Structure 1
Amino acid sequence: MSRILDLMPELEPDELQFVQQMLGDMPYAEMQQFANIYRARRKKPQEVLILIIVGFFLIAGLQRFYLGQIGMGLLYFFTGGLCFIGTILDLINYKRLTYEFNVKEAQTVKAMLRY
């Protein structure tokens, strides 16, 4: 685990555990390549939280657009965050939303590296 932690110290604990299990015994050079690509594609929970808060006051659904959920983003935009209920739920679950996005991105990056 220390190799992953050395390469990507910014990972959340759950995300770090998932990436460690996913990479397993990958060679260090390939692990460095994974870390470089994944770092550029992953989203930070703090950024999602900021977008949710902005959604309360300006444009609902920004967090969904940011996470690549265009359909939900449009739904939130046209319904005012589902009358603020969806926005409040996203505020409570922002770390889970970010984690799910990052898991998909990690799997995509790993698949890209396996020619």
Structure 2
Amino acid sequence: MNNRNILMSIQGITPEELMYLQHATATLSEEQLKSFVFLYSGKRKNAQDIMLFTLIGFLGFAGIQRFVLNQVAMGVIYFLTLGFCWIGTIVDIINHKSMTDEYNQRMARESLNMVMGGF
């Protein structure tokens, strides 16, 4: 299996994410790449899930999406202020894909560091 197919095995991967990962993992051996895919797959988030968590904010549980994306302080602030009176929640609905992409890139870098540093 070539490197492209290994990365394509990540469930729900987007074309943009695939291009980013191909570039980021270009120097990895096949064994390192398999380890990377295993680690990264467990950490990455799906944009549709983040959208769903954001929509739940309108039911009075604002900020869940921020907790899921490891933004605990913002999650607490959203929860206590009803998502900044729902304005922040609306902004997050609009930006859910970019928020997810940013998180996934951070997790890709973290996974790469783990694989290249030997954990």
The reply to whether TM is greater than 0.5 is yes
Structure 2: distance between partners of 1:44 and 1:107:
17
Does the aligned pair in 1 maintain the 2:32–2:116 contact within 8 Å? no
Q: Deviations over 1:13-68 (max 9, x none)?
A: 22111111101131111111100110011111111011011111130000001100
Amino acid at match of 1:94: H
Select 1:59's aligned residue among 43, 58, 61. Answer: 61
Q: Which structure 1 residue ranges, 4+ long, deviate > 4 Å from structure 2? A: none
After superposition, the Cα gap between the structure-2 partners of 1:9 and 1:68, relative to the gap in structure 1 and judged at 3 Å, is closer
Identity across matched positions, percent? 35
Q: Report if aligned partners of 1:38, 1:105 keep a CA contact under 8 Å in 2.
A: yes
| Partner-residue secondary structure (3-state), 2:81 | helix
The one-letter code sitting in structure 2 at the alignment partner of 1:60 is A
RMSD: 1.4
Structure 1 residue 12: Cα displacement: 1.3
Classify the secondary structure of the residue corresponding to 1:11.
Answer: coil
Unpaired runs of at least 5, structure 1: none
Question: Structure 1 residue 97 and structure 2 residue 94: aligned?
Answer: no
Match in the other structure for 1:112 = 114
How does 1:1-115 map onto structure 2 within 5 Å? 2-8=4-10, 10-115=12-117
Aligned counterparts of 2:17 and 2:62: Cα–Cα separation in 1: 27
Give the paired residue count.
Answer: 115
Shift of 1:9: 5.1
Once residues 22 and 90 of structure 2 are traced to their aligned partners in structure 1, the CA distance between those partners, rounded to angstroms, is 32
Given that 2:4 and 2:22 are in contact with CA atoms closer than 8 Å, whether structure 1 keeps it comes out as no
Q: Write the distance in 2 (CA, Å) between the matches of 1:50 and 1:9.
A: 18
**TM-score, normalization by structure 2:** 0.90
Q: Which residue identity lines up with residue 59 of structure 2 in the other structure?
A: F
Please tell me the residue identity of whatever aligns with 1:63.
Answer: Q
